[in-house]
Amino acid sequence: MPTTAEKTGTETPAQLVARLRATFRTRRTTPPAWRTGQLRQLRALLTERGDEIAEALNADLGKSRKEAYRTEIDFTVREIDHTLDHLEKWLLPEPAPVPAALGGATAWTVQDPLGLVLVIAPWNYPVQLLLAPVVGALAAGNCVVVKPSELAPATSATLARLLPEYLDTDAFGVVEGAVPETTALLEQHFDHIFYTGNGAVGRIVMTAAARNLTPVTLELGGKSPVFVDRDADIAVVAGRLVAGKFLNAGQTCVAPDYVLTDPETSAALQTALAKAVEALFGADPAQSPEYGRIVNERHFDRLVGLLDSGRTVTGGAHDRTTKYIAPTVLADVAPDSPVMREEIFGPVLPLVEVAGLDEAIAFINDRDKPLALYAFTESAVTRDRLSAETSSGALGLGLPLAHLTVSDLPFGGVGESGMGNYHGRYSLETFSHRKAVLDKPLG
C-alpha cells in the first residue's frame, strides 16, 4: 500500500482534502475503537521509533537525547496515555436540566467530530507541537492533515516518513513544505485549523480560515514576564529561572522572557543567576551536551543583535558556525531597549528594574497579554493581586513552564498570545462540536 507521503507526493492539496473528507463521510473515524486504535498506533510510533526522532531533533536543534525524550517524545506519550485513560468518560453525553414548560423532555449534549482538521506546527518543539494537537484531533474522531515546520527539516522528514507507517492513511495526511505549500493548504476547506507559531502568520491563517468560516485555534507567543518579589528565596528562584529559560536554548514559547524586580533584589538575583547557569551547564556551556543551539542563522543574527541591550551579567559568547549563544543574563535593561521590543525566543534574559508590585503590574498591563506570567513570591496578597489584576494565558507561581505538563490544565493564550486552548480534555473540546440534543416523547 502506498504511504501517505507517497500519495501526497502525487496528490494536490485539493485531492488530499477530498480523499480524507470522503473517509470522514463514511464515519469510519467516529467509533471510539477507531480513535483509541489510532492513539495506540501513535504511541507505538513514539516508543518504537523514539530514537530516530531524537536523532532528528538533535540534527535540527542540538537537543540532547534526554531533552528530546523529556520535552517531546515522552511528553506526547503522556498526553496519549492521559487521553486513553479518560476518553470513554469524556465522551459520555452530558445531561442538561430542562425547563418545566418542556415537561417530559430530556436534554443533553454530545461531542461530534468536526470532520477534517489541519494542524500547522512550528520548529521549536517540532514533535510535541505537531503531535499533541493530533492526539486531540484523533481522540475527537477527525481526519487530520499535518504540516510540520520546514525550519526543523530532519524532524519534518522523519515524521513524514514514520506517521504513515503507523496511522490510517485514509484519514491522516502529512504535507511537508514551507510558505507555498502551507498557502496551498490554506486555500482548502477545513473544519478546524490549529496553528502554532508567530502572530504575523497567525493573522494569515485566520484570514484564510475566514473565507470558509473555519474556526481556528491560534497558539502564539509573545513576551512572558517574570515578577520576582523581594521576599523570595533568590537561590531557588535563580535555579528554576535558569532551568526554564535556557531549556532548548530559550526557544520555548512559554520561556520566561524578562524579569521585573526591584533594584536590591536584582543585584542579588544577578549573582545567583550567574551561579545557577554554571551549576546547570558548567563553566563553558558550549561543552555541555544538555545545552541546545539556535535553529538557524537568521535567528542567530537576530539574537546577537539583542546582546547589547544591557550590561552582561553572564554569557554573551556566541559562535555563528555552530549557532551557539551562551546562556546570557543582561542587567540594567531599559524598557524601550531592543531586547524589550520583541519576543526574545532565545537564551537572553533581561532584568528590568521596577519600584515594586504596583509598577510591575502596570508594566505588564501596558503590553500585550502574555502567554504566561510567572511570579516568585511568598506573599498571598501579591499572588492574588497578580492573578486578579493581570491577564495572561497562564499564571505560573514559583515554577516556569511546568503548567504545560499538567494535562488537565488548558494550554493557550489570550489576546496577542493566541486564542483557544488544548491538552487533555480541552483538546477534545477544541476538535469537537458540542451538539445540543432535546428529546420530547411523542406520546
Active site residues: 219, 253
- Is-contact 22 14, C-beta < 8 A? no
Contact with ligand NAD (CB under 6 A) among 4, 29, 76, 124: 124
Residue number, 155 or 265, with CB nearest to ligand NAD: 155
Residue 67 to residues 61, 70, 257, Cα–Cα distance (Å): 11, 5, 21
Residue of closest CB approach to ligand NAD: 221
Site for ligand NAD in 361-380 (CB under 6 A): 371
Site for ligand NAD in 333-362 (CB under 6 A): 343, 345
Contact with ligand NAD (CB under 6 A) among 113, 164, 221, 256: 221
Residue 148 to residues 14, 115, 431, Cα–Cα distance (Å): 18, 20, 19
The interface mask with ligand NAD, positions 385-414, x = CB under 6 A, is ----------------------------x-
Minimum gap (Å) between residue 348 Cβ and ligand NAD: 14
Minimum gap (Å) between residue 386 Cβ and ligand NAD: 21
Query: Per residue, what are the HEC states of 211-228?
Result: CCCCCEEEECCCCEEEEE
The interface mask with ligand NAD, positions 181-210, x = CB under 6 A, is -xx------------xxx--x--x------
Residue number, 71 or 382, with CB nearest to ligand NAD: 71
Residue number, 182 or 314, with CB nearest to ligand NAD: 182
Q: Which residue do the cell numbers 551536551 mark?
A: 289
DSSP 3-state of 116:
strand
Contact with ligand NAD (CB under 6 A) among 73, 91, 120, 364: 120
How many residues sit close enough to ligand NAD to count as binding (CB under 6 A)? 28
- Is-contact 274 45, C-beta < 8 A? no
φ/ψ of 167, rounded to 5, equals: -100, 165
**Burial of 307: CB neighbours in 10 Å, binned 0-12, 13-18, 19+:** buried
Site for ligand NAD in 58-117 (CB under 6 A): none
Residue number, 103 or 180, with CB nearest to ligand NAD: 180
DSSP E strand stretches across 183-294: 192-196, 216-219, 224-228, 256-261
Minimum gap (Å) between residue 353 Cβ and ligand NAD: 25
- Is-contact 193 120, C-beta < 8 A? yes
Give residue 281's Cα distance to chain centre.
25
Minimum gap (Å) between residue 178 Cβ and ligand NAD: 5
The interface mask with ligand NAD, positions 257-296, x = CB under 6 A, is ----------------------------------------
Contact with ligand NAD (CB under 6 A) among 61, 144, 151, 394: 151
The DSSP annotation for 273-311 comes to: HHHHHHHHH-S-GGG-TT----S-HHHHHHHHTTGGGSE
CA–CA gap between residue 426 and residue 421 (Å, rounded): 7
Q: Which region among 14-22, 23-31, 217-225, 268-276 touches ligand NAD (by CB under 6 A)?
A: 217-225
CA–CA gap between residue 104 and residue 387 (Å, rounded): 44
Contact with ligand NAD (CB under 6 A) among 116, 127, 129, 428: 129
Residue 419 to residues 76, 132, 214, 219, 396, Cα–Cα distance (Å): 22, 17, 14, 7, 19
- Is-contact 306 338, C-beta < 8 A? yes
Residue number, 37 or 177, with CB nearest to ligand NAD: 177
Minimum gap (Å) between residue 372 Cβ and ligand NAD: 9
Question: Does residue 418 belong to the site contacting ligand NAD (CB under 6 A)?
Answer: yes
CA–CA gap between residue 11 and residue 185 (Å, rounded): 12
CA–CA gap between residue 78 and residue 85 (Å, rounded): 10
Contact with ligand NAD (CB under 6 A) among 55, 81, 150, 262: 150
The site for ligand NAD (CB under 6 A) is made up of 120-124, 129, 147, 149-151, 178-179, 182-183, 196-198, 201, 204, 219-221, 253, 343, 345, 371, 413, 418
